[in-house]
Amino acid sequence: MSNLDGKNLDGKVAVITGAGRGLGREEAIQLASQGARVVINDINLPDAEKAANETVEEIKAAGGEAIAVFGDCANTADADNLMKVTLKTYGDLNIMINNAGYCRDKTIFGMSDEEFDSVVQVHLRGHFVNMRNAAAYWRGKAKAGEQVYGRLISTASEAAIFGSAGQPNYAAAKAGIVAMTMGAAQLMIKYGIPCNVIMPRAATDMTMQGPTAAMFAAPEEGFHAFDPANVAPLVGYLSSPEAQNIAGEVFVVWGNQVTRMHPPTFGEAHVNPEGDKKWTLAGLHGSLASEFSDGYTPVLDGYSVKPQ
Ligand SMILES: NC(=O)c1ccc[n+]([C@@H]2O[C@H](COP(=O)([O-])OP(=O)(O)OC[C@H]3O[C@@H](n4cnc5c(N)ncnc54)[C@H](O)[C@@H]3O)[C@@H](O)[C@H]2O)c1
């Protein structure tokens, strides 16, 4: 029976990384409003700890249950501790939302090794260690014959699909997150655990600086499409019993829109007209060139994320 306007996650336990601020904060508040007991992770730095504690207090003031656990989402010991404290405090884990991260934007010409590694580390490795812990925990429970309620939600970006000229590190990490989550989805569906990816757009600390700030700014009046709170209901829905059947999906979400990405599809295959033979260069040119001639634009101008 559907209880979507009630506390349909009553007693469930949710972990959200990077939930002191921005999207993670809104997702934590959303899940708590649905009755989940929420574990707010954020990095152990003063500003982040303050923000995480405030999110906990806000949830408690609204009658919900929450704790904060500080640590680096991409550090194995910290991720293990996040899992340990969650199980010790609430006795279970049901919903794992990987969300934390930051940007270090540069074009490919000038990006340092450190800028590349740190962004891949926080996003891709940050997703990996917590995904591994959650998946192993749920599989262990299932193998022990216990009932398992699990949901895994990853946070990617449209940069993963369209590229982002000023963010080679970030786009690569986000593409890795999509691939890793699709693989997890294939495994975890056997245990009845849906895994999905969201690609949000929102005005947060991440986007309200640099070239994206103007695009994400609040309007003078009316609906603020990029309010991060607009992303949270989809996370709440995917975490719900009603969404049991939705798995291996990628959703772009912002404002009043949720768009399901179509899976990548193959175009028409070019087959060597000479039969079962390795291509020659001339043969390839004869087959391919016409597809890339009249009216073909090699790279689309403008934003790497196509405006809708
Ligand atoms: N805002 C957007 O438009 C947008 C678009 C696409 C994807 N995303 C993704 O959404 C997620 C949330 O971003 P946001 O926009 O809310 O940004 P944000 O900067 O507001 O929030 C990120 C949070 O992660 C925390 N964090 C950073 N490093 C951490 C670490 N090592 N361990 C634990 N916590 C850490 C920060 O302290 C912060 O609270 C990110 O994965 C981001 O890439 C955002």
Instruction: Give the whole-angstrom CA distance, residue 193 versus residue 12.
Output: 14
Q: How far is CA 205 from the centre of its chain?
A: 17
User: Is 170 tagged catalytic?
Assistant: yes
Pocket of ligand 1 contains residue 231 by CB under 6 Å: no
How do beta strands 13-16 and 37-42 pair? parallel
Collapsing DSSP to helix, strand or coil, 131 comes out as helix
Q: Give which of 100, 126, 121 is closest to 24, Cα–Cα.
A: 100
pLDDT tens profile 228-276: 999 999 999 999 999 999 999 999 999 999 999 999 899 999 999 999 9
**How many CA within 13 A on the CB side of residue 298?**
1
| Ligand 1 atom closest to residue 45's alpha carbon, by position in its atom list | 37
Listing DSSP states for 227-276 in one string gives: -GGGTHHHHHHHTSGGGTT--S-EEEEETTEEEEPPPP---PPP--TT-S
User: Is 174 tagged catalytic?
Assistant: yes
Q: Give which of 23, 36, 122, 30 is closest to 72, Cα–Cα.
A: 122
Residues in the chain predicted with pLDDT less than 50, given as ranges, are none
pLDDT at position 296 is 82
Pocket of ligand 1 contains residue 34 by CB under 6 Å: no
- Testing ligand 1's pocket by substitution, the residue of 43, 164, 197, 212 carrying the most ligand atoms inside 8 A of its CB is 43
Pocket of ligand 1 contains residue 101 by CB under 6 Å: yes
Catalytic residue selected from 157, 164, 239, 240:
157
pLDDT at position 306 is 62
pLDDT at position 299 is 79
Pocket of ligand 1 contains residue 157 by CB under 6 Å: yes
Span 13-260 CATH architecture:
3-Layer(aba) Sandwich (3.40)
pLDDT at position 123 is 98
Domain ranges of the chain: 13-260
pLDDT at position 293 is 86
Pocket of ligand 1 contains residue 201 by CB under 6 Å: yes
Can you give the pTM of this predicted structure? Answer: 0.96
Helix (H), strand (E) at residue 14: strand 13-16
